[in-house]
Amino acid sequence: MDRADLDFANLPFAYHPTDANVRVFFREGSWSLPEVSSDQYLTLHMASVCLHYGQAIFEGLKAYERPDGQVQTFRPRENARRLRRSAQKLLMEPVPEDVFLDAVFRAVAANRRFVPPHASGAALYIRPFQIGTRAEVGVKPSADYLFMVFCTPVGPYYKAGLTPVRLRVEEQIDRAAPGGVGDTKAAGNYAAGMRATMAAKKEGYSEVLYLDARTKSFIDESGSSNFFAIQGDTFITPASPSILASITNKSVQVLARDMGLCVEERPVSVEELGSFDEAGALGTAAVITPVGSITYRGEEFTYAKEGKAGPITTALFERLVAIQTGEQEDPYGWCDVVPGT
């Protein structure tokens, strides 16, 4: 394999063009065969439902080069299921799991030369997405869909790696409403959060931490990741109907239990901020990012001593990354080798 000429160790979390993407069309009631394309652009009708009425959902997962040179993806079936759940909630045609997996594997295999070398700290980010493409001017679900997968090599989302980030609790802007679609990966959820994130960045924070929209008293999640805290030997993470069910979080809960920690998935009051020993963000892009401090109503609660991640956060991060990259054996059956890599 002739690897792409990139500085893999210093990649940003940003789009970089790759060789191919995969497209599957839902037309006249059935899914087409996958098409592999080198075109980075789409031809869409200007009245497509996705452009006006928001039938647009996506997923994010990563592929890693293992020490033996094969490429593996982390829990792709979970992403397939979550895309289907998002589709059902937005009245879109759910993509069959085998169609999803086949498109993901084809996209990775076609871009093998962009998979960062093992232990470079980078990964191939995979972005499956689905949009309603039928031309409509009345508000109603599209009858036609495009399901597509592209890939791009990325470094960590929070550039500093295991260096703690600062968060601010957001009390003015809501990301998701009770009874809304905050538990789906709907594109509109991210537009709804941009005002809050951009304002927080201007103030020197990395992200905001949203509260439940109804009472503003329980922690939900941040704009692009779930939240966890460590209290003694307990891993705590918010249970809420308006957050995205993070696959990273679900996995880390298993690792935490296997490390002997108690795991509590429950409503987490913002009043508990002072009682955490460690805190962190969980997600495909964030992996496990330690949270050094959270500012709430002008008070800064700190969780990282001398600017370093705590011992439990560090241990969870190392174990997760070792499994994802194939450095350690995967006893959970989470990783799938991509055929043809």
Catalytic residue among 89, 185, 202, 216: 185
| CA quadruple 214, 217, 218, 220: dihedral, nearest 10 | 60
Residue 229 in contact with ligand PLP, rule: CB under 6 A: no
Instruction: Tell me how far, at minimum, the Cβ of 322 lies from ligand PLP, in Å.
Output: 17
Among 65, 170, 221, 278, binds ligand PLP (CB under 6 A): 221
Cβ proximity of 59 and 129 under 8 Å:
yes
- Least separation in angstroms between residue 56's CB and ligand PLP is 14
| Using rule CB under 6 A, residue 206 touches ligand PLP | no
- String of contacts with ligand PLP for each residue 247-266, x by CB under 6 A: xxx-----------------
Spatial contact of 152 and 159, defined as CB atoms under 8 Å apart: no
CB of 287 to ligand PLP, least distance (A): 9
What gap in Å lies between CA 274 and CA 271, rounded to an integer?
Answer: 7
Query: Min. distance of Cβ 36 from ligand PLP in angstroms?
Result: 25
Residues 272-291 within binding reach of ligand PLP (CB under 6 A): 282-285
305 is catalytic: no
CB nearer to ligand PLP: pick between 59 and 65: 59
b/e burial code for range 238-275 (CB count within 10 A of at least 16 → b): bebebbbebbbbebbbebbeeeebebbeeebebeebee
Structure tokens at 240: 């809420």
Residue closer to ligand PLP by CB (options 270, 282) is 282
Alpha-carbon distances of 274 from 125, 242, 299, rounded to whole Å: 35, 24, 10
Name the residue type at position 22: V
Instruction: Kindly tell me which of 134 and 185 has the beta carbon lying closer to ligand PLP.
Output: 185
User: Among residues 226 and 325, whose Cβ is nearest to ligand PLP?
Assistant: 226
207 lies in the site for ligand PLP, by CB under 6 A: no
10 Å CB burial of residue 132 (0-12, 13-18, 19+) is: buried
Stretch that binds ligand PLP, among 4-12, 147-155, 239-247, 288-296 (CB under 6 A): 239-247
Rule CB under 6 A: say whether 142 interacts with ligand PLP.
no
- Residue 246 binding ligand PLP, by CB under 6 A: yes
Q: Does 225 bind ligand PLP (CB under 6 A)?
A: yes
List strand residue ranges (DSSP E) for 186-323, in order. 207-211, 219-222, 226-231, 234-238, 262-266, 278-283, 287-296, 299-302
Between helices 247-258 and 311-324, what is the axis angle to 10°?
110
Residues at the site binding ligand PLP, with contacts judged by CB under 6 A? 60, 221, 224-226, 244, 246-249, 282-285
Which residues are marked as active site?
185
